[in-house]
Structure 1
């Protein structure tokens, strides 16, 4: 009798263990951010948050940029199941479809992460982006964004007129086109060369991430005229995963992940924004450094120039035109166009 009971108990435990193993989910997400950056730390916190929300049943390993594939290869890797998901700037995939440029970083469209999330949450952006991603086998869970990027500069720049002839680092694509149209002389340089190029006078300014991140890179030691708050570039930081894996999740787990991305978006905007404010306070007290804050009139002038670049990108593909039509309609309704 005892032996029979022991055997029955062992079988029950084995079945329970097997069921638990089937319910557990392990995933690997790759970031477009480097290890040690504030953004990557928050992404690691997001992965831990998912674990807490699921009582440890869903485990996400968050990998820094380049861990498995290059930063601009994660879309294909996620679709193929090499990665389970990614957190990245969608405009990195512009070479596949111009729609990624318009949905990922429509230069001059947004002033805050809340405005960007409004388009996706209320303006149909999430549904549209999932339609665009479907052929790649990727599902878009939700949007996030850091505060608008600052511009470290070695010379005072207070208006569009001051950009005339300024050699500045700007990545290829829409950002470079916008600054060229505004009168600057864009130079394509990797982020790793920005400090040296500013220091040696190869460039005078740079499109280079947020104020706090620029400060952590030492840029304000050589570029003592930063433009902040930012207004030109506020890229989408998308959280997406393999579509087949998403479809295999229960509705409860899909909602859990959706809610977790909203938490990540709130946390990213809040923490990076707070760090920007702390750095700004430090810079104001630093001898020789002057923060240049553009007037609303100057920002409107720049945004008008930027928005004139959207239409040419829209003409490059049917998907890009769909993004253009949807985005401009939403921004117009919100009084942001």
Structure 2
């Protein structure tokens, strides 16, 4: 072969190699799914984690696997999100398991329960302590598989129209709080109210309810609760670390290539980290603004905390006596929490406590 012909052939061969698509990309099917969220677009961190997950799935598959995300109310109301994935109306939902305790109180344990796990412990239990096996064994009965996709961290105790100093101040108080947390508060004399997020502000403003819990400073400030209820209590002992999941219809999940399954699981885990980090960044500044503008920040008294803790233990005994699945799951979670706090009291708590005291000094 002459030198000039050899060079032409070499360049042509190299160019052909450069433009050829990788074998993996060639084998990737084009898939378009829908995911309905339990959250409105205005709650940009809660809703945003679902958007982030979908965006990463698309990017990691060269846009071959696309997930269109719908806000609460666009396809179905927010509290029906889980059911739409379970029955296959849509392929996925982004929601909180404790919304569905009416089906079975065991749902709450995989998100959060009063005096349960904080956010890091919830992640640790799910990823390392067997929580995922227990969770997906349970969720399989409803036709879905779950992957963590967010955590708000410990939430606030809510907004109150009047100051709450003692247990007596809670009796007869109408509070927007639902699920298992509402059952605990009912034992303290509170009258729980189930209200959608959009109904909380007008109900507080009109005095239809006396108090309401939501999330934390960043989201609460957006909804304007500080304008109609001056007292802001902490901590939200019923939500120490609420885990949010994407629930995928099990048949649809099983139909995915293994590569897509891995991509979806990893994108969800990334969004899980994102949400917690984002709230940790947003909440301090929002809290400073709220207090600067007149919000009266108050801790729940030791009397209230201890009474709530006692009521919670009573409720666990009552549910466990009737629900073997709840008991099995709760016992596993409770044992894990005990081990975790053995470690936290040695290192995490002492470090944080010193840092907080030093900052005040």
Using the size of structure 1 for normalisation, the TM-score is: 0.84
- Structure with the greater alpha carbon radius of gyration: 2
Q: 2:251 aligns with which of 219, 241, 244?
A: 244
> For residues 313 and 159 of structure 2, what CA distance do their matches in structure 1 show?
23
Q: Deviation per CA, 1:261-319, whole angstroms, max 9, x where unpaired?
A: 111111111112322211101012113x2111347886455334323322322334332
| Other-structure match for 1:55 | 62
Q: Deviation per CA, 1:218-268, whole angstroms, max 9, x where unpaired?
A: 110111111145332243311121212222333333222222111111111
Q: Deviation per CA, 1:147-183, whole angstroms, max 9, x where unpaired?
A: 2332011222356565344332222x31211112233
> For residues 335 and 305 of structure 1, what CA distance do their matches in structure 2 show?
21
| Contact persistence 2:49–2:150 (CA under 8 A) | no
When residues 185 and 240 of structure 1 are mapped into structure 2, their CA distance, relative to the original with a 3 A threshold, is closer
> For residues 300 and 126 of structure 1, what CA distance do their matches in structure 2 show?
31
> For residues 93 and 107 of structure 2, what CA distance do their matches in structure 1 show?
15
When residues 178 and 225 of structure 1 are mapped into structure 2, their CA distance, relative to the original with a 3 A threshold, is same
> For residues 166 and 88 of structure 1, what CA distance do their matches in structure 2 show?
28
Q: How many residue pairs get matched?
A: 319
Q: Deviation per CA, 1:75-97, whole angstroms, max 9, x where unpaired?
A: 34223322111110112222322
Gaps (5+ residues) in structure 2? 1-21, 343-361
| Contact persistence 1:283–1:291 (CA under 8 A) | no
Q: 1:259 aligns with which of 242, 262, 266?
A: 266
Question: Is 188-197 or 294-303 further displaced after alignment?
Answer: 294-303
Give the SS at the match of 1:65: coil
When residues 307 and 115 of structure 1 are mapped into structure 2, their CA distance, relative to the original with a 3 A threshold, is farther
2:216 pairs with 1:210: yes
| Contact persistence 2:119–2:242 (CA under 8 A) | no
> For residues 322 and 117 of structure 1, what CA distance do their matches in structure 2 show?
19
> For residues 290 and 82 of structure 2, what CA distance do their matches in structure 1 show?
38
Once the 2 structures are TM-superposed, how far is the Cα of residue 126 of structure 1 from its aligned partner? Answer: 0.8
> For residues 57 and 132 of structure 2, what CA distance do their matches in structure 1 show?
21
> For residues 81 and 200 of structure 2, what CA distance do their matches in structure 1 show?
25
CA RMSD of aligned residues (A): 2.8
2:334 pairs with 1:328: yes
| Other-structure match for 1:69 | 76
2:88 pairs with 1:81: yes
| Contact persistence 2:144–2:250 (CA under 8 A) | yes
Give the SS at the match of 1:280: helix
> For residues 131 and 43 of structure 1, what CA distance do their matches in structure 2 show?
23
- 1:162-173 matches, within 5 Å, as 162-171=169-178, 173=179
> For residues 47 and 159 of structure 1, what CA distance do their matches in structure 2 show?
46
Using the size of structure 2 for normalisation, the TM-score is: 0.78
| Contact persistence 1:117–1:144 (CA under 8 A) | no
Question: Is 95-104 or 129-138 further displaced after alignment?
Answer: 95-104
Once the 2 structures are TM-superposed, how far is the Cα of residue 143 of structure 1 from its aligned partner? Answer: 5.2
Gaps (5+ residues) in structure 1? 1-15
When residues 258 and 296 of structure 1 are mapped into structure 2, their CA distance, relative to the original with a 3 A threshold, is farther
Once the 2 structures are TM-superposed, how far is the Cα of residue 205 of structure 1 from its aligned partner? Answer: 1.4
| Other-structure match for 2:197 | 191
Q: 1:274 aligns with which of 275, 278, 281?
A: 281
| Contact persistence 1:147–1:210 (CA under 8 A) | no
| Other-structure match for 2:115 | 108
| Contact persistence 2:166–2:303 (CA under 8 A) | no
Give the SS at the match of 1:308: helix
Question: Is 90-99 or 264-273 further displaced after alignment?
Answer: 90-99
